[in-house]
Structure 1
Amino acid sequence: MSSIIGKIAIWIGIVAQIYFSVVFVRMISINIAGGSDYETIFLLGLILALFTVLPTIFTAIYMESYSVIGGALFIVYAIIALCLYNFLSSILWLIGGILLIWNKYSKDESTDENEKVDIESTENQFESKDKITKE
């Protein structure tokens, strides 16, 4: 259950990062260029999106087979997003990374619900010392 929550948090963080990239580029276009040079602003936005979103998407796609590495990478992405003042993606990626690592190491064989128990060996381990029931 917590792995599903982690995956959902990671994908919501990716969508928030895409939105943040669009808003960031739009704010730069208004402040710096005055909104006149759209080709340069488009290239800046494309480069920003490529460097911030594509690594997270590739990590999210391959996190099934490499959950510990993916969890560690998403914690690093969370720190980078925090430095870019993208707090929503940072929090979501931090939660998702911790849950990915937690799920990998919390799977213990002793908590397996489908484990078969030998009932013969567990029942009647202690003999009754009551004389009434023995007679």
Structure 2
Amino acid sequence: MTRVKVEETKAAIEDGASEIDMLINLGALKSRAYDAVYQDIDAVVKAANGLTTKVIIETALLDDTEKRKATEIVMAAGANFVKTATGFNGGGATVEDIELLSSIVQGKIGIKAAGGIRTYDDAVKMMQAGATRIGASGAVAIIHNEKSDTDY
């Protein structure tokens, strides 16, 4: 799996990507195979060759202990951001999750709150909780202080 992620990263860069998003190896994380999780992220960060790398940890699928460990590994492997969700696993950012991630990263890396942000107030709450970026498919509506009706 890591080899595929590395090749996809290289291809994305060749195609003009300026940032890389990757999904943490959830199976390895849940199995407590932390070295495998670290090596996977480290390989992609190295392949990104200095480009901003964001690691999606799917907070809705993790308990707080797993969120903490995942975030610690993301930091140790040299990624630039920890990101809450892909939008495909039934949950997005919560204020509580962003506060937890913020307490872990302590400003050393960024936090991208993604998923479930549908209003301007939602976005503000995420930023106040410690998010440094917002990911929302309804960003235009949110900026105009309208409610987004998207699922993500």
What is the TM-score normalised by the length of structure 1? 0.25
Higher strand share: 2
Higher RCO (Cα < 8 Å, 6 or more apart):
1
- Greater helix proportion: 1
TM-score relative to the length of structure 2: 0.23
The structure number with the bigger radius of gyration is 1
